[in-house]
Amino acid sequence: MTTGPLAGLRIAEFAGIGPGPFAGMLLADMGAEVVRIQRPGGADPYAPGLATRGRTVVEADLKDPAARERVLALLDGADALIEGFRPGVMERLGLGPDAVLARNPRLVYGRMTGWGQDGPLAATAGHDISYIAVTGALAAIGEPARPVPPLNLVGDYGGGSLYLVAGLLAGILSARTTGRGQVVDAAICDGTASQMAMFCDMASRGTWRDGRGSNLLDGGKPYYRTYACRDGEHVAIGPLEPQFYAEFLRLTGLADDPDFARRDDPAMQERLHARLEALFLTRSRDEWDRLFEGSDVCFAPVLSLSEAPHHPHLKARGTYVAAGEGGWQPAPAPRFSATPGAVRAPRAATIEAVAAAWRSG
């Protein structure tokens, strides 16, 4: 039996890549019944990967009129839909919002794109790196010499998937109150810009400067950045608050050093960086971990993906759970006390069977 706070919610997901599948995974982890519609025998870059976990997978050739009718019948019983094609594709297939909402007025139609449904770039190709570049996010991330793409966490997943999930759930709540569904235009560029709200505010007040490595949270401060250790590994420190910084100085033996009392003096930044770089090179990552363990220094070792599941804290919480063939996968997040989510394997079914179940339910 499906568990989770979204149990009973029915969502149709048209197969795609990137943020659409990740949004489907999050919803499925929280108990929604997510049906993934994909091409018969078509290459799926994610199957049977984590982005398809928890789904019921059906096949349909959307260019076949008979298959489209079966898909429309399925959508008659859906609460929401996820699609990530370029603007106009679903309309040309006869599966656009007008056609679907005419049959199921309560449906929330989620559209996941990079540029959005309109605007000069709406019809052009792009990837995460493109969307975070134009919003100002990429320019703020990396070393002073050049921006560095932060995987696809900021754009695809942060500005895309998470905003799509929030939009779908908000739309479903509205539909249950009003009886009317709607279109959710989730554009990665919009979501990424939204995530930059704090930095836009800081810039407007003159407390954020253009130029990487020159601000509070971008590595510009000696007490909020990463450092290499003697063994070639790295550590991360972030004692922003005075009491945490004092703890850092005490444990490193720097509490009485006058240089470190001037941590925010612009004239001291280069000197403090150099001194801490030299300090952290005197011990291995694990030695620093043992020194700071249990303190309020805001310290953490920089772990690889293969190391992270074995960290004592993450292991105790079950943040990662076992996957097939000795691998690991993230557990569902966030956690719910009364209706916990669960990792579920994908399963195959037919559109007709799912549509019949949704009608009878």
**Which domains, from first to last, does the chain contain?**
10-195+331-360 (3.40.50.10540), 225-305 (3.30.1540.10)
**3-class secondary-structure state, position 291:** helix
Return the amino acid letter for 193.
A
For residue 327, what pLDDT band results from cuts at 50, 70 and 90? Answer: confident
pLDDT at residue 118 tops 60 = yes
For residue 2, what pLDDT band results from cuts at 50, 70 and 90? Answer: confident
Tell me, what's the pLDDT at 359?
87
Q: Which residues are catalytic?
A: 127, 156
311 C-beta neighbours (distance < 10 Å), count: 16
Tell me, what's the pLDDT at 150?
96
Instruction: Provide the token pair at 228.
Output: 């290499």
Specify the range with the lowest mean pLDDT, choosing from 80-89, 128-137, 156-165, 339-348.
339-348
CA-closest candidate to residue 160, choices 120, 128, 124 = 128
Bridge partners (DSSP) of residue 264 are none
Q: What is the residue whose two structure tokens read 């363990």?
A: 293
Average confidence (pLDDT) over 58-74: 95
Tell me, what's the pLDDT at 1?
63
**3-class secondary-structure state, position 281:** coil
pLDDT at residue 45 tops 80 = no
Tell me, what's the pLDDT at 323?
85
State percent of the chain over pLDDT 90.
Answer: 90
Using DSSP bridges, classify how beta strands 108-113 and 182-187 pair: parallel, antiparallel or unpaired. Answer: parallel
Bridge partners (DSSP) of residue 320 are 330
When the pLDDT of each residue in the chain is averaged and rounded to a whole number, the result is 94
Average confidence (pLDDT) over 98-105: 98
Specify the range with the lowest mean pLDDT, choosing from 44-58, 70-84, 199-213.
44-58
pTM of the model: 0.95
Asked if 137 contacts 74 with a C-beta cutoff of 8 angstroms, the reply is no
Return the amino acid letter for 305.
L
**Element (H or E) spanning 111, and its range?**
strand 108-113
Q: Give CA 2 to chain center in angstroms.
A: 24
Asked if 94 contacts 69 with a C-beta cutoff of 8 angstroms, the reply is no
